Amino acid sequence: MAHLLFFDFPTDGPVGDEAVTAFGDLAADIAAEQGLLWKVWTEDAEAGTAGGAYLFTDRASAERYLAKHTARLAGFGITDVTTFSKPVNAGLSAITHAPESSRSATEG
């Protein structure tokens, strides 16, 4: 069953187009992550936070990435990280227009 994984953490780093330039290589690395279907990047310059929502094909992939990215953030000195992971309900997600990849990953 597909799993959504959420990260939120404090940052004073770049946002918008500056973030695209600064984190383009990181985004490419994340895109190649085993089991990742997609990631939505989040940023709130006013609140000083960033993070994202990730959809993985299964719980094991989400848990593996949780450990990897938490360690990566700690390497940057970011340890005040909020995370949680939840399984996806395919039927209800289809009704509320979830992307097809979100729905098909949860079937079977």
Domain ranges of the chain: 3-104
Q: Phi-psi region for residue 64, left (φ > 0), alpha (ψ -120 to 50) or beta?
A: alpha
- Per the CB < 8 A criterion, the answer to whether 55 and 103 are in contact is no
Q: How confident is the model at residue 108 (pLDDT cuts 50, 70, 90)?
A: very low
The answer on pLDDT for 105 being more than 70 is: no
Q: Which fold has domain 3-104?
A: Alpha-Beta Plaits (3.30.70)
Quote the pTM value: 0.89
Cα distances from 46 to residues 13, 28, 39, 61, in angstroms, run: 12, 26, 22, 32
9-39 per-position pLDDT tens digit: 999 999 999 999 999 999 999 999 999 999 9
Q: Phi-psi region for residue 86, left (φ > 0), alpha (ψ -120 to 50) or beta?
A: beta
pLDDT at 29: 96
The answer on pLDDT for 106 being more than 80 is: no
Separation between Cα atoms, residue 48 and residue 36, nearest integer Å:
26
45-84 per-position pLDDT tens digit: 999 999 999 999 999 999 999 999 999 999 999 999 999 9
Average pLDDT over residues 99-107: 62
Separation between Cα atoms, residue 105 and residue 62, nearest integer Å:
13
